[in-house]
Structure 1
Amino acid sequence: MDTPATTGFASFREFYPYYLGEHSNRTCRRLHFVGSSGALICLLLAVSTFNPLWLVAGLMCGYGFAWVGHFVFEKNRPATFKHPLYSFMGDWVMYRDLLTGRIPF
C-alpha cells in the first residue's frame, strides 16, 4: 500500500504532479486513455454478462496499453511498479483531465 514511508509522497495531491511528469509524452497519454476506456468497457461487460473473465480482459487492456506507452514512447518504467495505489488513482484522474481538456489529448 502507498504510504508516505514507502512512496516519499505525503498525499496523492503531492504525487499527481510527479505522475504527470511520468506521462509527458502525448502518445503515452493517449494509450493510457484508450486502455482505460477499454477497461471500462470490459467492466461493463463483466457486470452485464456476469462473466468475471471480462475483469481479466479489462486489466490486460488497461495495463497493456499503458505499458506499451511507457516502454515504447515514454521510455520509462510505469509508476505502478513503485506506487501502485497512487498510480491507479492517477490513471483515473488523468483520464478525467484528458476527457475535460485540462491536459492536452
Structure 2
Amino acid sequence: MAQEEEIKSFAEFWPHYVADHSLPATRALHLAGTTAALACTAALIARRKWKYLPLALIPGYGAAWVGHFFVEHNKPASFKYPLWSFIADYKMIALMLAGKMEAEVERAINQGKDLQSARGDDPSFMSE
C-alpha cells in the first residue's frame, strides 16, 4: 500500500467512508446504533439527566465498531477523522432511508478501483 495521503475535505473523505461501509450488515449496524443513540439522547434530555448524556454515545459507537471489526474487518474512520465520520454517518443513513446508498457504494467502489489502477496500490486508507 502506498503511503497515506492526508484527506483535506469532506468531499475527499466521503468515497473512502462509503467504501469502508460497503456491506449492508455494517450499514444496518450503524443505523441501529445511531437510532439507539438518538433515542437515548432524547430520553436523557427529556428527563434532564445531563450528566449521563455521554453514555448515549455507547450504543452508537458500539454497534458501529462491531460492524467494522467483525463484519467489514476494517478500522473505523472515527479514529482518524471523528467529525467527518460523524457527519458521514448521518449522510449515509439519509441515503439508506432514501434507497440511494447501494448506488453510492457502487460509485465509491468503482472510484476506488480506478484510483487503485492509476496508483498501483490499495485505495483503502483505513484497512490496516
Place the TM-score, normalised by the shorter chain, in its bin.
0.7 to 0.9
In 2: Cα distance, 1:30 partner to 1:77 partner: 17
Give the letter for the 1:18 counterpart.
Answer: H
| Cross-structure match for 1:102 | 100
Give the letter for the 1:90 counterpart.
Answer: A
Match status 1:32 vs 2:30: yes
Identity %: 41
Match status 1:77 vs 2:60: no
| Cross-structure match for 2:39 | 41
Q: Name structure 1 gaps, 5 residues minimum.
A: 1-6
Match status 1:23 vs 2:21: yes
> What is the TM-score with the length of structure 1 in the denominator?
0.85
Work out which of the two has the higher radius of gyration on C-alpha atoms and give 1 or 2: 2
Deviations 1:23-56 (A, max 9, x none): 0111010000000000110111121110125523
Match status 1:89 vs 2:87: yes
| Cross-structure match for 1:8 | 6
In 1: Cα distance, 2:71 partner to 2:51 partner: 29
Q: Name structure 2 gaps, 5 residues minimum.
A: 103-128
Q: CA RMSD in A?
A: 1.5
| Cross-structure match for 1:62 | 60
In 2: Cα distance, 1:20 partner to 1:35 partner: 17
> What is the TM-score with the length of structure 2 in the denominator?
0.71
How many residues align? The count is: 98
